[in-house]
Amino acid sequence: NAGVTQTPKFRVLKTGQSMTLLCAQDMNHEYMYWYRQDPGMGLRLIHYSVGEGTTAKGEVPDGYNVSRLKKQNFLLGLESAAPSQTSVYFCASKSRAGVGSGANVLTFGAGSRLTVL
């Protein structure tokens, strides 16, 4: 009953370093999302995917890249981390409209706290 699992939970980077956040879901959901949460800014959509091999830009995509090579995984990459990317990152997933009663409900992971020095 894992749902959405994010790794790592915490990470500290130096400016310019790269890293990848991994999101894994075991609910066979088609759609997956990466949001960032900052004080006073709420949740802002970074990138999302509507299926394996597809990705799309959200509200704040600059400085991030994503990949969805497998249906259950959605990776968020920072090629050259900046202090402005210090945030809590949340992954979420949901099923496609018309597929089950949960089609409109996002399931969130517990979050990944990233600090860029």
Partner 1 sequence: AQSVTQLDSQVPVFEEAPVELRCNYSSSVSVYLFWYVQYPNQGLQLLLKYLSGSTLVESINGFEAEFNKSQTSFHLRKPSVHISDTAEYFCAVRRANRDDKIIFGKGTRLHILP
**Which stretch in 21-29, 31-39, 63-71, 74-82 sits in contact with partner 1 by CB under 8 A?**
31-39
Query: Which of 96, 100, 115, 117 contacts partner 1 by CB under 8 A?
Result: 96
Tell me: does residue 104 bind partner 1 (CB under 8 A).
yes
Using CB atoms within 10 Å of the CB of residue 6, give its burial: 0 to 12 exposed, 13 to 18 middle, 19+ buried: buried
Tell me: does residue 34 bind partner 1 (CB under 8 A).
no
Distance of alpha carbon 94 from alpha carbon 54, whole angstroms = 15
SS3 85: helix
HSE-CB at 12 with a 13 A cutoff on CA atoms is 1
Tell me: does residue 59 bind partner 1 (CB under 8 A).
yes
Query: Which of 50, 53, 83, 100 contacts partner 1 by CB under 8 A?
Result: 50
Tell me: does residue 9 bind partner 1 (CB under 8 A).
no
